[in-house]
Structure 1
Amino acid sequence: MNHRLNIRFEQLERATNQLLAQVELLGERASTSPGPGQWSAVQVVHHLLVAETGINQYIDKKLAQTEDLEEAGVGAFFRASLLRLLLRLPFLRFKSPSRLKALTPDEVPTLAVLQAEWETVRRHLERTLNEFPSKLLNRAIFKHPRSGMLTIYQTLDFMVDHVLHHQRQISRIAHAVALLPPPLAVGHNANQPT
């Protein structure tokens, strides 16, 4: 893996580990939605896993047809820069692309299962980056749903910013679910006085 890719990959690893640690701290509340129509912390993890899986698949597909990859131009630089800026603004929220949102159901696997799946997906990304051809570093390799085609560097920058963006969401969720009454214990009758 070249040095610039390695730096970005390490940033992605750190950001992901920090996010997962945040979710683990929530314990049982990690699966609690802060309100109707809002994702729980575990659903956010699922969303990030689905997104990274899709990115891996798209890159794999493009690497199989390298003769079609175009040089990334100035427009790609500006679109990627704008995407980075928007993802870093703390007050800005985005709706998940409908295609991705549909892949995050109300019931998702446990955090432990998601972490194991994510580890597999991340090792796949690491292998791809280790073998990434240097002649393709400035080629458009991934199509972001809003900003268009990105180079591998821009793709990794997006992935880091995407995780950091959702770290802020996890913080909001943690604050909201901490204010909710504790979940009922299994076998506890809500009609009985406590």
Structure 2
Amino acid sequence: MSVKSDKEALLKSLKFYEEFLKTLNEDVFLTTPPIGGWSYSEVYSHILSANLLSFIALEKCLNKTAEIKTKKPDWRVRLILFLGKFPPGKLKAPKVIADLVKKISTEEARNQMVKIKKRITEMPVGFKNFDSNYKMKHPRLGYLDAKSWLRFMVIHTQHHERQIKRIVKSFS
């Protein structure tokens, strides 16, 4: 996928989060679902903080302040990025990321959403200074370049859309 199409896909996915947030009252947003696991609030906290950290990594790669690594990612990581999906099954968030998850209010979620969308729209089109040798380490996927970080954000954000839909079913 191109930078432009990944950027559009990420904005579209965030639109889902934005619209869904409008349908929730604060109590439901904070309630642990009947199936257990994270509340809507915790999913939003996770996806928004993970996207912010991913943007920081992406920007370091573009600004050439990341590490220089010439080795390509493992074939499994390349397959995930190519197919646009994580393998089937449930994965636990890496501890460093899971520790950031907390219950946030709908207002905090809206404010963080604005910040993320602003960063996406201000992101350089086409990554004109892109160099695939500048990489930052992902806790699970290894070293990723700027384009791979953007692709990861799309996949990860869409992955949690499906989690939100499972939570909705559990409340029905």
Whether 1:46 aligns to 2:68 is no
For residue 95 of structure 1, give the secondary structure of its aligned residue in structure 2: coil
User: What is the RMSD computed on CA atoms of the aligned residues?
Assistant: 2.9
Gaps of 5+ in 1: 179-194
Whether 1:14 aligns to 2:8 is no
What is the TM-score with the length of structure 1 in the denominator?
0.72
How far the C-alpha of 1:177 sits from its partner, in A, is: 2.2
Give the structure 1 partner of residue 155 of structure 2. Answer: 161
More moved, 151-160 vs 27-36: 27-36
Percent of matched pairs sharing the same residue: 24
Deviations along 1:95-129, one digit per CA (max 9) or x if unpaired, are: 01111111112x32x22321222221332243343
Change (3 A) 1:8 1:114: same
Structure-1 separation of matches of 2:63 and 2:134: 14
How far the C-alpha of 1:64 sits from its partner, in A, is: 4.7
For residue 140 of structure 2, give the secondary structure of its aligned residue in structure 1: coil
How far the C-alpha of 1:69 sits from its partner, in A, is: 2.7
Change (3 A) 1:41 1:67: closer
Give the structure 2 partner of residue 174 of structure 1. Answer: 168
For residue 143 of structure 1, give the secondary structure of its aligned residue in structure 2: strand
How far the C-alpha of 1:47 sits from its partner, in A, is: 0.4
Task: Kindly indicate whether the alpha-carbon contact (under 8 Å) linking 1:58 and 1:142 is maintained by their aligned counterparts in 2.
Answer: yes
Gaps of 5+ in 2: none
For residue 141 of structure 1, give the secondary structure of its aligned residue in structure 2: strand
Kindly tell me the number of residue pairs found equivalent between the two proteins.
Answer: 170
What is the TM-score with the length of structure 2 in the denominator?
0.80
How far the C-alpha of 1:163 sits from its partner, in A, is: 1.1
More moved, 44-53 vs 116-125: 116-125
